[in-house]
Amino acid sequence: MSASNLALTLDLIARAHPEPVADDATALHLLTDDELRPGLASAVGGKPGPADEIWVFAYGSLMWQPEFAVAERRIGLVRGFHRRFCLLQRRFRGTVERPGFVLALDRGGTCKGVAFRLAGTDPMATLMPVWRREMKGNGYASRWLPVETECGVVHALAFIVNRLGDRYAGRLSEPEIAEKIAAACGHLGPSAEYLLRTAQACAELGIRDRHLTRLQALVAERLRGCDA
């Protein structure tokens, strides 16, 4: 399916959520850089592979909004984890009353995404921007995973779901996930937009993901019902 043929559209989302909601800083505690550094140092200390090569595996918003300098990118496959909307978002693209979802890697299966080689040789300085972005909300754990690419295997930092955290939703059905995504909007915009951007990125890269395909159709159906 091409990006232009996706059932979910920005126009449909905008009609259901014409305005972002006000930010609620109390909805999600964010860790400071001082609180984040020990975890990053521990991750860097366990980094496999060449010391001067720093890779990050992207499977969600990092694919379409990396926000770091990229030296190289490769389509890659991770085994043992799959992409799933299983992390509740009570801020940014949802609220406490109507939480949305963001993606995480959860156990089992495989996931095709993008391996980015970051521009920089100092792991702490190079990784802090992406570490801050992904880890400040205490929803993820980090792991260095082997990523299979056409040019060989690289070891990339990946963000997997923190199953012990209160944001982990467990194994909800896709209709249940779609209901929350369709209803949720935060100060950064609707949860459905996050889904759409990710589905578009996958389509443009030739990545097929049935979970995303089914969800964008289910969310579109619900948004059309709201629009009727």
Is residue 195 helix, strand or coil?
helix
User: What amino acid positions are annotated as catalytic residues?
Assistant: 134
Facing residues of 111 across strands? 78
Q: What is the largest CA-CA distance in the chain?
A: 56
- The neighbour count for residue 24, using CB atoms within 10 Å, is 14
Facing residues of 105 across strands? 83, 160
Candidates 32, 40, 34, 51; CA nearest to 131 is 40
Q: Is 198 exposed, middle or buried (0-12, 13-18, 19+ CB in 10 A)?
A: buried
**If you search the block for the tokens 């209901």, which residue do you land on?**
179
